[in-house]
Amino acid sequence: MKKSLVRTSVFVVALLLPALLARPALAGIFNPETFTLSNGMQVVVIESHRAPVVKHMVWYKVGSADEAPGESGIAHLLEHLMFKGTKTVPQGAFSAAVARNGGQENAFTSYDYTAYHQTIAKDRLEMVMRMEADRMTHLQISEEQVAPERMVVLEERRSRVDNNPSSQLSEQVNAALYLNYPYRRPIIGWEHEIRALDVDRILAFYKRYYAPNNAVLIVEGDVTVDEIKTLAEKYYGVIPRGPDIERNRTIEPPSRADKRVSLAHERVQQPSWSRTYLAPSYHYGETKHAYALQVLEEILGGGPSARLYKSLVLDQAIAHSAGAFYGANDIGPSTFGFYASPKEGVSFEAIEKAITAEIATLLKDGVTDKEVADVTERVKNKLVFARDDFGTAARVFGQALTTGSSIEDVESWGDRMAAVTADDVMAAARLVLDGTYSVTAELRNKPQS
């Protein structure tokens, strides 16, 4: 059973969702229907009748940023342990049943949510819904089960982070960038804290956060609202409501200094340079700038015609790649930044000088109305086809609804983005890039001795 961590810029869901949530769409592109069960569980149905297949997802409004101090990694470890079984569905039976019936399943943990999903034939939907509802409240785990799974997670950390220079550097950048906000901790957790997680702490976390009123059920595929309402009430509607959860997050204080992080490692094959700034998201800080920052990201880093690629890769020929990144979907402060991979013989100083010059030109001369219009039109054209990508809608709405956005927010993205002007883009650029503090990171090769 493959399980995964998710951060906006890293894994599949994080790569997919910002592209759809954070860019313009046509109003009504997915056309979902929604209702709420009596126990507080929201249900979203996206009908797609092209094939007798459904995607069933349960999203919990809890992620690693909701962990208590000293318990980093508990959300992700619980995700693993959710496959250990219940009294009626013993260990391994859930996954075996899905596979036996031709389906696929997985789960992932992020800073702000945890999700479990199955893709399966329509006539097997009731089976997976019954089993998923069962483990929402009836998970059975013992220390004998926790101990080996803890070792699995520690090995996952060793392979993904400790043996991966890029991941090591990313952890250090986050720790330097966020002074107080829980995004500074890795989703997978710190090794010494993972080792300390025991069955009592894990079950307390499970009982607090895994409840219908803290979850969203999303079903996409060959179904109707009436069909889902009947099944959802039968399996999820009978689960008692849990405690009301208020996600009280810490506030990020202002930074007072630029920071630099450098890592040299013999496993680095391609050096890289980046600069990262804190930025507003849809739900934190000066949120009015989030839409304009998405347009700015495209103008600076959205492909071969973008400013950074054109300047560093094509015109100056000093980099293999160059671009910008931004994610607006976080509950807390997000990041805006730049990256480049220098060509052999090109110094980090040359890369930094070139990108700094591009930023200075941006802040001095601004962006044009045509650049803004081109971005809006280009992304809109891509998103016309979004509804044809099965499973996309379920992931988009899952992330939106677990991080504070609404269905209307997603469905009206096109109108909101079309309203962004060149002046809006420059106001956002000056807020994030002009005089604010950043973390500059260098990943270089260390010759073996």
333 assigned to some structural domain: yes
Query: Which residue in 47, 79, 132, 252 is the catalytic one?
Result: 79
- pTM given for the model: 0.93
47 assigned to some structural domain: yes
Q: What is the pLDDT of residue 6?
A: 55
Structure tokens at 320: 């293999």
Beta-strand relationship, 438-445 and 259-265: parallel
Report the C-alpha gap between 112 and 178 in whole angstroms.
16
CATH number, domain with residue 383? 3.30.830.10
Structure tokens at 50: 């092209």
89 assigned to some structural domain: yes
Spatial neighbors of 1 by CB under 8 A, at least 6 apart, are: 83, 95, 105, 106
Report the C-alpha gap between 250 and 240 in whole angstroms.
30
User: How many domains does the chain contain in total?
Assistant: 2
Query: Quick one: 343 and 413 in the same domain?
Result: yes
Can you list the residues of the chain whose pLDDT is less than 50?
1-3, 7-27
Q: Residue 79 catalytic?
A: yes
Nearest in space to 374 (alpha carbons), one of 299, 289, 291, 308? 299
Query: Quick one: 103 and 202 in the same domain?
Result: yes
Query: Quick one: 213 and 282 in the same domain?
Result: no
Backbone angles phi, psi at 117, to 5 degrees: -150, 150
24 assigned to some structural domain: no
pLDDT in tens, 87-140: 999 999 999 999 999 999 999 999 999 999 999 999 999 999 999 999 999 999
pLDDT in tens, 226-246: 999 999 999 999 999 999 999
CB atoms near residue 83 (< 10 Å): 19
pLDDT in tens, 126-182: 999 999 999 999 999 999 999 999 999 999 999 999 999 999 999 999 999 999 999
Query: Quick one: 413 and 295 in the same domain?
Result: yes
Q: What is the pLDDT of residue 335?
A: 97
Beta-strand relationship, 438-445 and 272-279: antiparallel
Q: What is the pLDDT of residue 21?
A: 43
Given a contact cutoff of 8 angstroms between Cβ atoms, the answer to whether 82 and 134 are in contact is no
DSSP 34-103: EEE-TTS-EEEEEE--SSSEEEEEEEES--GGGSPTT-TTHHHHHHHHTTS--SSS-TTHHHHHHHHTT-
Domain range enclosing 413: 259-445
399 assigned to some structural domain: yes
Q: Is the dihedral of CA 186, 23, 442, 361 positive or negative?
A: negative
Report the C-alpha gap between 256 and 345 in whole angstroms.
34
